[in-house]
Structure 1
């Protein structure tokens, strides 16, 4: 079932890399069911509850992180550009969903 979810997420281009210009800072997200989850791939981290509770049970990942890895492999990432001036507001919006 998790493999199906990852395939759907990737095929619907719900893996997003938000790039802030001119700094080139990046924030990765996956759009879920009514919620956008923040990912830190360099730390194997996802903000979803499944990741948190999965870690407590010894799991290494969640389907959002798996979707990101598949999207990178298949070059199916949605890139969205923003101005550096929008960085703080973007973070506030993302954090408010946690």
Structure 2
């Protein structure tokens, strides 16, 4: 557990929790930059696209360190907000989905 806390602190302090806001629609996509990969998360629905979250769910866990990082970053107001145009939304989603492969 201590190692996860170090990881979480590192992610938060390095501002690797990202909130991508598309304008003018105000659509939002949350991501956390992990080890060489960006994971899509939904902190309000308690979801993460990482394999650890999926396999953890199979074993009764309810979260992963990416989600815990997002909750801590929100609490500390250390989320990096990045603004995009709505025109960039589909390309962003395609890139995010491609990373899941």
In structure 2, C-alpha distance between the alignment counterparts of 1:56 and 1:76, rounded to whole Å: 31
Three-state SS of the structure 1 residue aligned to 2:44 is helix
Equivalence map 1:21-36=2 (5 Å): 21-36=23-38
Quote the residue 2:68 is aligned against: 66
Following TM superposition, where does structure 1 have runs of at least 4 consecutive aligned residues deviating by more than 6 angstroms?
none
The Cα RMSD (Å) is: 0.5
Q: Would you say how many aligned residue pairs link Structure 1 and Structure 2? A: 98
TM-score by length of 2: 0.96
In structure 1, C-alpha distance between the alignment counterparts of 2:58 and 2:83, rounded to whole Å: 35
In structure 1, C-alpha distance between the alignment counterparts of 2:90 and 2:61, rounded to whole Å: 32
Structure 1: 5+ residue stretches without partners: none
Structure 2: 5+ residue stretches without partners: none
Structure 2 residue 46 is the aligned partner of structure 1 residue 44? yes
